[in-house]
């Protein structure tokens, strides 16, 4: 056996320090060209990389042929890019973070005290409306600063026992920040570190080119300009197809009468009705090479006692960090809810799930943190929201979609989300934990209650990670082995 480190990400300042004649040799296209030829060459992959490195132009020609002519787009996934994206709006960050197979880490409004920086859309050409926009953002930001200080004092008095050490005190301060931010607009500036492969980067370019927001279009162009000379042979499909444009333009075909009631509550809309049986059937089929329909017939004949016993044995050595096997991906849950922008900022991080989101809509109301009500800021909060909504409608009437920039973290959008049970184990462990943020915890706890009813055996150890030991003890009458 031979295992070699083929390469790793290198910071661009170091690359730029190289002599001019060496710079062109540093391109991720080498990996795409070498790995694409593994299937058709008797040479070792190490030798293939060396050949690609020695003749970059030949490697690029090979890439274009394999990707464009032969349709093997997956070779572009071997080329990976890292981007620092700084000073873009929270709204644009939502566009960046839509891509399922990219990795991103964003500056959190829960942990960082914000300074009031925001993006003013270039679309707002009306001087009077531009002034109104900036004035309202200023009001929102001033409320944020005042609310943060008031919430901090309130929480310090409420939790004096948590002020004794630096870590706990920082946590309490974070609670104040995360609730104060509900008044901040989606125009608020942020930053993100993005890691993405070339194939998904092309997808980003096409999606961003169709955006109605000039900021998002500019971000796409800026990203393209950063890579076009570094990897020209694997960035081939930058422009959207007519099919992609048609999907975007279908919005008007699905408009409904505004009097139709809009969803405002959490609701399970679809689920696999026999999830427990489906999982057990897959194990019988897997271990015995039995036709799946036959396995399902066998499982249906099992008593509930036997089914529970099988799951009991399956989970007996599970620890809080263990992931259920892929068999748990077969049953699925689909739910809908109207959630705040703050909630959505966390929900969208669960990228393996299917997440379909509607536009932000003032008619769906706002999520007001209980802490703001407790310190007497509810009325002022509502007053600012009313002013925000007024400007939102003015902006959208004149500049379609640009009203979203004035929308606050408290404003809601409708989401439709589907997750399989394996993904739900991860989601609920993280989001029903006592350290989870309260807004998304409400979604997670609702899911937890419903899943326990729908799939009682497969979900017997489904819980927040801080509840795992207690749940395990309730089922098995002892602590998990890792604690013994």
Q: What would the pLDDT profile of 1-32 be if each residue is shown by its tens digit?
A: 566 767 777 788 887 787 666 656 677 777 77
Q: How far apart are CA 380 and CA 382, in angstroms?
A: 5
Taking the CA atoms of residue 141, residue 147, residue 149 and residue 150 in that order, the dihedral angle to the nearest 10 degrees is 160
Least confident of 228-237, 317-326, 427-436: 228-237
Single pTM value for the model? 0.88
Locus of tokens 């070498």: 34
**Confidence band, pLDDT 50/70/90 cuts, at residue 484:** low
Taking alpha carbons only, the member of 280, 337, 284, 331 closest to residue 310 is: 280
Considering only CA atoms, give the Rg of the chain: 26
Q: How far apart are CA 205 and CA 313, in angstroms?
A: 49
In this prediction, residue 289 carries a pLDDT of 85
Q: What would the pLDDT profile of 354-407 be if each residue is shown by its tens digit?
A: 999 999 999 999 999 999 999 999 999 999 999 999 999 999 999 999 999 999
In this prediction, residue 330 carries a pLDDT of 97
**Is residue 243 within a helix (H) or strand (E), and if so which, with residue range?**
helix 242-249
Taking alpha carbons only, the member of 96, 129, 65 closest to residue 403 is: 129
**Confidence band, pLDDT 50/70/90 cuts, at residue 68:** low
Q: Is the pLDDT of residue 245 over 90?
A: no
In this prediction, residue 472 carries a pLDDT of 93
In this prediction, residue 267 carries a pLDDT of 93
Q: How far apart are CA 433 and CA 467, in angstroms?
A: 7
**Is residue 335 within a helix (H) or strand (E), and if so which, with residue range?**
strand 332-340
Least confident of 7-11, 340-344, 358-362, 419-423: 7-11
Going 333 to 338 to 343 to 346, the CA torsion angle's sign is positive
DSSP string covering 173-228, please? HHHHHHHHGGG-BTTBEEEEEEEEEHHHHHHHHHHHHT-S-HHHHHHHHHHHHHHT
Q: How many residues does the chain have?
A: 484
**Is residue 418 within a helix (H) or strand (E), and if so which, with residue range?**
strand 412-420
Q: How far apart are CA 137 and CA 475, in angstroms?
A: 52
Q: Is the pLDDT of residue 134 over 70?
A: yes
Tokens of 202: 């092309």
Q: In the chain, what percentage of residues exceed pLDDT 70?
A: 92
Residue 378 CB neighbours (<10 A): 14
Instruction: Find out whether 175 and 155 touch, Cβ atoms under 8 Å.
Output: yes
By the 10 Å C-beta count (0-12 exposed, 13-18 middle, 19+ buried), 224 is classed as: middle
Least confident of 50-59, 148-157, 313-322: 50-59
- Buried b / exposed e over 144-160, threshold 16 CB at 10 Å, is beebbebbbebbeeeee
């Amino acid at each position: 056996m031979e295992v070699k480190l083929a390469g790793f990400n290198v910071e661009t300042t170091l690359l730029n320090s190289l002599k001019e004649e060496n710079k062109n040799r540093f391109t991720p296209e080498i990996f795409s060209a070498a790995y694409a030829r593994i299937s058709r060459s008797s040479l070792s992959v190490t030798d293939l990389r060396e050949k690609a490195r020695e003749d970059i132009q030949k490697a690029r020609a090979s890439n274009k042929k394999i990707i464009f002519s032969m349709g093997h787009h997956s070779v572009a996934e071997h080329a990976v890019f890292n981007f620092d994206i700084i000073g873009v709006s929270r709204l644009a960050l939502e566009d960046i973070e839509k891509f399922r197979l990219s990795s991103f880490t964003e500056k959190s409004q829960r942990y960082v005290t914000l300074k009031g920086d925001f993006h003013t859309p270039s679309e707002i050409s009306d001087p009077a409306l531009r002034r109104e926009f900036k004035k309202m953002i200023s009001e929102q930001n001033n409320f944020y600063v005042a609310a943060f200080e008031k919430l901090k004092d309130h929480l310090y008095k409420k939790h004096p026992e948590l002020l004794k050490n630096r870590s706990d005190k920082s946590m309490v301060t974070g609670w104040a920040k995360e609730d104060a931010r509900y008044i901040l607009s989606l125009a608020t500036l942020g930053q993100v570190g993005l890691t993405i492969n070339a194939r998904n980067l092309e997808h980003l370019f096409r999606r961003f080119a169709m955006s109605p927001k000039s900021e998002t279009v500019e971000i796409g162009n800026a990203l393209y300009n950063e890579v076009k000379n570094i990897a020209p042979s694997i960035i081939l499909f930058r422009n959207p197809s007519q099919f992609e444009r048609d999907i975007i333009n279908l919005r008007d075909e699905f408009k409904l009468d505004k009097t139709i009631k809009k969803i405002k509550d959490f609701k399970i809309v679809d689920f696999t009705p026999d999830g427990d049986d489906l999982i057990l059937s897959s194990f019988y089929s897997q271990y015995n090479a039995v036709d799946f329909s036959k396995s399902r017939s066998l499982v249906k004949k099992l008593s509930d006692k036997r089914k529970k016993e099988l799951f009991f044995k399956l989970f007996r050595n599970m620890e809080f960090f263990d992931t259920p096997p892929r068999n748990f991906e077969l049953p699925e849950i689909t739910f809908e809810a109207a959630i705040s922008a703050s909630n959505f900022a966390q929900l969208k991080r669960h990228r393996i799930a299917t997440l379909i989101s509607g536009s932000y809509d003032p008619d769906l109301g706002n999520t007001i943190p209980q802490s703001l009500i407790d310190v007497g800021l509810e009325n002022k909060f509502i007053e600012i929201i009313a002013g925000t909504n007024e400007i939102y409608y003015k902006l959208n009437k004149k500049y379609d979609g640009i009203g979203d920039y004035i929308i606050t973290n408290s404003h809601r959008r409708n989401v439709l989300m589907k997750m399989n049970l394996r993904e739900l184990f991860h989601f609920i462990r993280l989001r029903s934990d006592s350290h989870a943020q309260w807004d998304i915890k409400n979604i997670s706890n609702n899911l937890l209650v419903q899943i326990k009813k729908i799939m009682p055996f497969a979900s017997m150890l489904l819980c927040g990670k801080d509840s795992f030991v207690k749940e395990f003890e309730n089922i098995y009458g002892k602590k998990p082995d890792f604690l013994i």
